Amino acid sequence: MLLASFSVSCNNSTDNRQIDTTNWAKDTHQLFLKAQNYYNTNQSDSLVSFAPEAMKICEEHQQWQSFYDIWNLLTENYVWEDEFDKAVTEAQRMQEDAIKRNSKYGLFNAYRALGTAYCYRENHEEAVKFLQKAIDNYVDIPFTTSMVTTYRMYIESLTKLHCYEAADSALHNMKADIDSSSHVSPSNPRMWANWNFYYQLDLAQYLTANGKYQAAEQALDSCDYYEEQEGGFLINQMLICTQRSQLARAQKDYVKALKYSSREMEISEELGDNSSKMATYTEIVSALQGMGRYKEALETQLEANAFNDSLKSANNAEQLNELNKKFEVNELKMKSEREKMQAERTQLYLLIAIVAIVLIAVIVFILSRLQSARRLAKVIAQKERMESELSIARGIQMSMVPSEFPQREGLDMFASMNPAKEVGGDLYDYLLTGDKLYFCLGDVSGKGVPAALFMAQATRLFRAIAKQNHAPATIATRINTELTENNEQGMFVTMFIGCLDLLSGRLDFCNAGHNPPVIGGGEHHGEFLTMLPNAPIGLWPRLEYQGEQIDNIKARALFLYTDGLNEAENRQQEQFGDDRLLELLRNTHFDTARQVVETLNAAVEEHRNGAEPNDDLTMMCIRKQ
């Protein structure tokens, strides 16, 4: 979210300054600067405590601009502290007060505060409504940085709602207001540059959203110019990198996007801006995905998750320190009291301990014998119950995959699944609807009960979406949308999804990060299928999967499998391997699809030579005459 805040430097000496009663306008402004110092340095408690008293002084002397400015700081402080209800309540109170006093400046601040709260909550419909009111009430008031911020949130919300015409109009108004305030330039050229910098930045974002990439590049070049005029602040350089990365991703130039996001990460680390660093991780992952570097994207996502966890830990530690300060715990005094009490009790405990040791020795001997017997019985009972429950779970899981296959002339199909543990994460399924055969085979990350639950969800989604006669790529996209929602454990599934037209022999398919199938026929009598590099399902939301097709696979067997086949290990940890798989399929005569699967199963067992399975093994063979 944009929501850029503008800081104004303030003199910390105002903390101990006495109010000059001969010039209340000047002194109430000093009160505002002190409140702003608390706001800019994240001293939330100090601001909440200071604001009511400062507002009371402003009200007594009818200094309404400082009065509403301080009130607005208090409201926005609640927004950034994620206390949305408090922020809205304060803004509504400010609105009622401004209406009672007939103050346009007060109404501007109230509506701006409400718009800020809703924009922060991504409720852009409400944000637009209140920010429009704020702009409408900014009449006969000198143009300031507050108005620039208001325009920025207003344009952002309109763009998010795809109201591009209204956003374009707002940009024109923002530029006109900045130009009409040209009197600022001689007296404060940095502020003038700052306003134009943010206008060009918002313009670039708007043009990027509308696909006007060349114009967006020109706007960003203008940002570079005004950034230099303003003084070369790192925060502005980071904002430019963010927008250039967004523009590059929109143009699908992921190499350039990665370059700017990497520079953005360097600046955020230099500034110590952890929130920007988390957002930049997301941009880098997106760029790596676009380049097809899914392994690096996954590693970066895991690094981002670890960094986020460290931030939470640091925040918890900081909150604990603040709590200790609040209660003013005198650790030295407590330690002295504990030592004194301990000394007084030591002699008594020593006497009691001597007597107790003798009694305990006797009792422990008796109880240990009883407890050992009970513990052994309990362990045996728990083991039997777990084995029973896992056996039931295995039965339930195996009932979820088909054990019978279509009996249709010209179609030969068979599949099998062997979990490495009692339950596993492999899956396969099919749906015959009219003259179309939908089928899938997949492998969930991990093994055991969590993988089995994820497998059940993926299988259910495949069947439900396939019933709607969608293309395999659409099925993969919609399954990904469902599985990425609330996927806090970061689980994923690789899948091959196909749709075979039983009349024409046409095969439509989508491979989501799965092992390439083997297709029969051709010059070498069987080869691995070459496919597009789609990502696994469940890792990243909003992916659009790409599908492919083969015009006719009649008389060509299609063999699908999970990596429990080619990566099966023997006692020496030697893998079965792709070469052995191809050799068997090319040089063995098969009469049926079932014979293909059973022959490969037997070959894997022979290769293991008694070694425990290291992964689930699932295979499927389809032949269309």
pLDDT at 52: 92
Indicate whether 92 pLDDT > 50: yes
Indicate whether 194 pLDDT > 60: yes
pLDDT at 373: 53
Strand pairing of 493-501 and 558-561? unpaired
Taking phi over 0 as left and psi of -120 to 50 as alpha, with beta for the rest, 381 belongs to alpha
What are the structure tokens assigned to 283, written together? 């941009």
Q: What is the average pLDDT across 264-272? A: 84
Specify which residues 510 forms β-bridges with.
Answer: 497
Strands (E), 341-492: 411-418, 426-433, 436-444
Is the Cβ–Cβ distance between 115 and 124 less than 8 Å? Answer: no
pLDDT at 182: 61
What are the structure tokens assigned to 329, written together? 């715990």
Does the domain at 28-141 match CATH 1.25.40.10? Answer given as yes
pLDDT at 605: 94
pLDDT per residue as tens digits for the range 460-504? 999 999 999 999 999 999 999 999 988 888 899 999 999 999 999
Task: Name the nearest CA neighbour of 16 among 1, 30, 36.
Answer: 30
Tell me the DSSP string of 333-350. HHHHHHHHHHHHHHHHHH
Helix (H) or strand (E) holding 500: strand 493-501
104 phi and psi angles, rounded to 5 deg: -65, -35
Report the percent of the chain where pLDDT is more than 90: 29
What are the structure tokens assigned to 468, written together? 């709607």
Backbone CA torsion sign across 123, 126, 132, 138: negative
Report the percent of the chain where pLDDT is more than 70: 80
pLDDT at 237: 85
Cα torsion 311, 317, 320, 322 to 10°: value is -80
pLDDT at 103: 87
Task: Name the nearest CA neighbour of 134 among 56, 72, 196.
Answer: 72
Is the Cβ–Cβ distance between 491 and 538 less than 8 Å? Answer: yes
Mean per-residue pLDDT of the chain:
81
pTM over the 0.75 mark: no
Q: In the 3-class helix/strand/coil scheme, how is 245-307 assigned residue by residue?
A: HHHHHHCCCHHHHHHHHHHHHHHHHHHCCHHHHHHHHHHHHHHHHHCCCHHHHHHHHHHHHHH
DSSP-derived secondary structure letter, 616: -
56 contacts: CB under 8 Å, gap ≥ 6? none
* Annotated domain spans of the chain: 28-141, 246-327, 401-624
pLDDT per residue as tens digits for the range 383-416? 555 554 445 555 566 677 898 999 999 999 999 9
C-alpha pair distances (Å), 522 with each of 121, 204, 581 = 58, 52, 17
Q: What is the average pLDDT across 193-204? A: 84
Indicate whether 40 pLDDT > 70: yes
Specify the 3-state DSSP secondary structure of 439: strand
SS percent in the chain: helix, strand, coil, step 5? 65, 10, 25
427 phi and psi angles, rounded to 5 deg: -155, 155
Task: Name the nearest CA neighbour of 482 among 498, 499, 459.
Answer: 459
Helices 145-160 and 104-120, interaxial angle, to 10°?
Answer: 40
- Gap between the Cα atoms of 66 and 68, Å rounded: 6
Burial classification of residue 66, based on how many CB atoms lie within 10 Å of its CB (0-12 exposed, 13-18 middle, 19 or more buried): buried
Taking phi over 0 as left and psi of -120 to 50 as alpha, with beta for the rest, 207 belongs to alpha
pLDDT at 440: 97
CATH superfamily of 401-624: PPM-type phosphatase domain (3.60.40.10)
Domains 28-141 and 401-624 agree in fold: no
pLDDT at 392: 52
pLDDT per residue as tens digits for the range 150-191? 888 888 888 888 888 888 888 888 888 878 776 555 567 788
pLDDT per residue as tens digits for the range 250-260? 898 988 888 98
